Chains A and B, each alone.
Chain A
Amino acid sequence: MTDLDAFRAETRAWLEANCPAECRGPVESEDDRVWGGRNAVFPTPAHKIWLDRMGARGWTAPEWPTQYGGGGLSREQAKVLHSEMRRIDAHPPLASFGVWMLGPALLAFGTEAQKLRFLPEIVRGEIRWCQGYSEPGSGSDLASIQTRAEDRGDHWIVNGQKVWTSYADKADWIFCLVRTDPEAPKHLGISFVLIDMATTGVSTRPITLISGKSPFCETFFDDVRVEKENLVGTLNRGWDVAKYLLAHERTMIGAMGELGGGRPLGQVATGSIGTDDDGRLDEPMLRARIAEMEVDAAAFRLAMERAGDQVKVGQAHPAIASMLKYYGSELNKRRHELLMAAGGSDALEWESERSRGGKAARDWLRTKANSIEGGTSEVQLNIIAKHLLQLPGA
């Protein structure tokens, strides 16, 4: 325990000295997130300093090995770092599909050369990734993808279309599922490849969502050349990589239930509605619903923590990620329904100064995708029924 206490003291002092004031406090909006990459955008110059400092220590990916730029921390140390960051309300220095999704897959399936090339850049936030999985005809039935990679000796030529590619228009590289063997059964002819978005023949088109925003794109591949060295894992076994990575994605989307909140709901509601003489939210019915949701949210945070503890000792069932994804995304939707109720008519303002461009309403609408992206809630329930409950015919 004393080692961990010492680590906590050091971490606290370092964060106190190195986390700029601008990077503390609740993250108010999607727009305040730092995604890094070649064309990185920072809300303030301090956010760049914060990313650089954290990246240099590997603390954007605390548990990755140091030889790939990571922090090399144990799980317990990473928990301490996390709790110390929470203590001062430090913003996450980097939001990154590289850290959350591709990195873990490269650590498990990548070649040494791939790890050395890509992981340090991911840690420092110098490369921004997007994910090319879904296609117009392949949603829940992901393994039916049709984007083809034709073998041309030392390279492939890729043709096809991806959809729901998050931030494809802002990403530097894409990790992508392509069909390398059209004759094989659908799960066994897919490969996992990395493609530079600047390659000739790659184009993107943003999709406008019900929130009025365009976090997703269509991505088109027209005779795109992809070097063979950019294959991750075994040829035609990309489904294994995809499944592994989906587990990380599901945990991440699930975690939105924990992280997506900003200010506590009760505070938002009392600020907007007011309290009675006894200090209680002056809407008893809403108050009860919020309290119930907050109990579920607190329990869910503990479940996330417990799942991490199970992973560390090898007790975690891989399908637990489906459970967390299902639960966390449904929870986040519930939270935003309550946020809308707490905001009342103020929250309905779409274009006004007070609403900061309809933030509450747009965030609320955005959450409706949580239970669709990364595998729908219904697909997660199927996975749980089959792999965790072993129900017949599931």
Chain B
Amino acid sequence: MPLILTEEQTMLKEAADGFLNEHAPIAHLRKLRDSKDADGVSRDLWRAFGEMGFAGVIIPEEHGGSGLGAVEAGVMAEALGRTLAPSPFLGSGVLSAKVLVDGGSAEQQAAWLPRIAAGEAIVSLAVDEGSKHAPSRIATVAERSGNGFKLNGAKGFVLDGHVADALIVAALTENGLSLFLVDPKTAGVEIERTVMVDAHNAARVTLTDVEVDADAVIGSVDGGEALLEGALNLGRACAAASLNGAGDQAFQTTMAYLRTRKQFGKLIGEFQALQHRSAHLFSEIEIARAAVMGALTALDSDRPDAALRVSVAKAKAGRVAELAVQEAVQMHGGVGMTDEYDVGLFMKRVRVLNELLGDAGFHQERMARAQGF
């Protein structure tokens, strides 16, 4: 599969960029933040995503989605990275949708996939527990109880968890990991909204003796690990695409600034000290773009090295975006430190996306393991 977008994918990209520039530019994020919006995310925008076919990009057509693949999901994620729009896309449209598409029962799929695709439902995946992404160290437990299970544990960094219509909770069962569809209104579920540094949203979810029926299990009991890993890998590749979007947008903004800002009677873009750093950063961004396309196409074609490519993409895109936003603030000088300029918002968003679903260290560890050292 070539590492460039097809004509249809390019059209999707243009549609997504056009839509977000009109309906959710950076001003949209600022408005949600500054008005201390109760949800911190716009349900109307999510419904509009549904109408445009964006919300259900990976959901099969028979469930009301667009039936497209990882590359298209990455296109959407990159566009969201560019305008920094808070959206349930990554949490619901990618992570949870992927779990349900791959492992959901007919009833679970019928109940949730069409509503996610329509931008009506928000379904949040609850995996992380400690401060670092570590799906192999999940401690939340689901014990057999009557006909069902009783869940105990605490989750954090649950994307959009405070407005979720349903939660997918990863918990240990007798012989492995299992995924449970949990109604957030169930007794024993406590949810605290955590406004993050980037003004996007997550939640802490505490589960105390939460009773669920046996049919709450997604896929098979003890068989959740592969299902979860599949969703996490798609989510990681999309997070990497968002990092590229945010990093590249910060870079473009900075290049525009270098072409207009004058000091010492010259445009600052004339100074070789800045030219070389800009050219280096350009190179890094191009490499990161290729890494992300490599991961997305590998997921779409089920390459055996897809998981490794995902780690390459997330680690590389993360480090590159981190460099891009730091250079953006530094090259803007004093105004880069002000809330009025957008570059600081990019820096905050990139910090969060970097931590989400495994930072560069996490993914470089996976690379080392895969290569046997």
Contacts and interface: CB of A to CB of B under 8 A. Distances in A.
Nearest to A388: B282
Interface stretch (A86-94, A210-218, A379-387): A379-387
B312 A295 contact: yes
A298 B266 CA distance: 40
A302 B373 contact: no
Contact of B364 (A291, A312, A378, A385): A291
Contacts of A299: 287-288, 290-291, 294, 312-313, 316
A359 to B, nearest CB: 21
Interface string B275-301: 110111011001111110110000000
Interface residues of A, number: 46
A372 to B, nearest CB: 16
B63 interface: no
Given A299-B312, A306-B4, A266 B371 contact: yes
B282 A384 contact: yes
B216 to A, nearest CB: 36
Contacts of B371: 264, 266-267, 294
A394 B274 CA distance: 11
B24 to A, nearest CB: 28
B3 A385 contact: no
B372 A267 contact: yes
A292 interface: yes
B291 A389 contact: no
B38 interface: no
A290 interface: yes
A309 B2 contact: yes
Contacts of B373: 266-267, 269-270, 275, 280-281, 287, 290
B367 A295 contact: yes
A392 to B, nearest CB: 4
A263 B282 CA distance: 30
Interface string B254-279: 01001100000011011010111011
B291 A298 contact: yes
A300 interface: yes
Nearest to A288: B364
Contacts of A388: 279, 282
Interface string B146-161: 0000000000000000
Interface string B325-369: 000000000000000000000000000000000001101110110
From A312, A313, A327, residue with most partner B Cβ within 10 Å: A327
A323 B283 contact: yes
A189 B259 CA distance: 34
Contact of A391 (B270, B280, B288, B289): B270
Contacts of B258: 391-392
A288 B364 CA distance: 8
A309 B3 contact: yes
Contacts of B141: none
Contacts of B372: 266-267, 270, 279
B315 interface: yes
B136 to A, nearest CB: 14
Contacts, number: 141
Interface in A302-331: 302-303, 305-306, 309-310, 312-313, 315, 320, 323, 326-327
Interface in B174-228: none
Contact of A392 (B2, B267, B315): B267
Nearest to B366: A291
A388 B280 CA distance: 12
A172 B313 CA distance: 44
A383 to B, nearest CB: 8
B287 A296 contact: yes
A311 B365 CA distance: 34
B283 A302 contact: no
Contact of A296 (B311, B313, B316): B316
Contacts of B367: 291, 294-295, 298
Nearest to A76: B2
Contacts of B360: 292, 295
A393 interface: yes
Contacts of A305: 3, 290, 294
Contacts of A393: 266-267, 269-270
A292 B363 CA distance: 9
Nearest to B311: A295
A281 B371 CA distance: 11
Contact of A327 (B259, B283, B311): B283
A303 B368 CA distance: 21
Given A287-B373, A305-B3, A385 B368 contact: no
Nearest to B266: A393
A259 to B, nearest CB: 17
A300 B4 contact: no
Contacts of B363: 295
Nearest to A283: B373
Contact of B280 (A266, A315, A381, A390): A381
A18 to B, nearest CB: 27
A381 B276 contact: yes
Given A323-B286, A327-B287, A385-B278, A295 B364 contact: yes
B259 to A, nearest CB: 6
A391 B315 contact: no
A152 to B, nearest CB: 44
Contacts of B269: 391-394
Interface string B1-23: 01110000000000000000000
B275 A394 contact: yes
Given A378-B276, A381-B275, A381-B280, A291 B2 contact: no
A302 B364 contact: no
Contacts of A275: 373
Contacts of B270: 391-394
A391 B259 contact: yes
Nearest to B270: A393
Given A303-B289, A326-B279, A393-B270, 18 more contacts: A267-B371, A270-B372, A287-B368, A291-B367, A294-B367, A295-B311, A295-B312, A296-B287, A299-B291, A306-B293, A309-B4, A312-B2, A323-B282, A326-B280, A389-B279, A391-B269, A392-B258, A392-B259
Interface of B: 2-4, 255, 258-259, 266-267, 269-270, 272, 274-276, 278-280, 282-283, 286-291, 293-294, 308-309, 311-313, 315-316, 360-361, 363-365, 367-368, 371-373
30 contacts: A264-B371, A269-B373, A279-B372, A287-B368, A288-B364, A290-B368, A291-B365, A291-B367, A294-B367, A295-B312, A295-B360, A296-B287, A302-B294, A302-B309, A303-B290, A303-B291, A305-B3, A306-B290, A323-B282, A327-B283, A382-B272, A382-B276, A384-B282, A384-B283, A391-B270, A391-B274, A392-B258, A393-B266, A394-B270, A394-B275
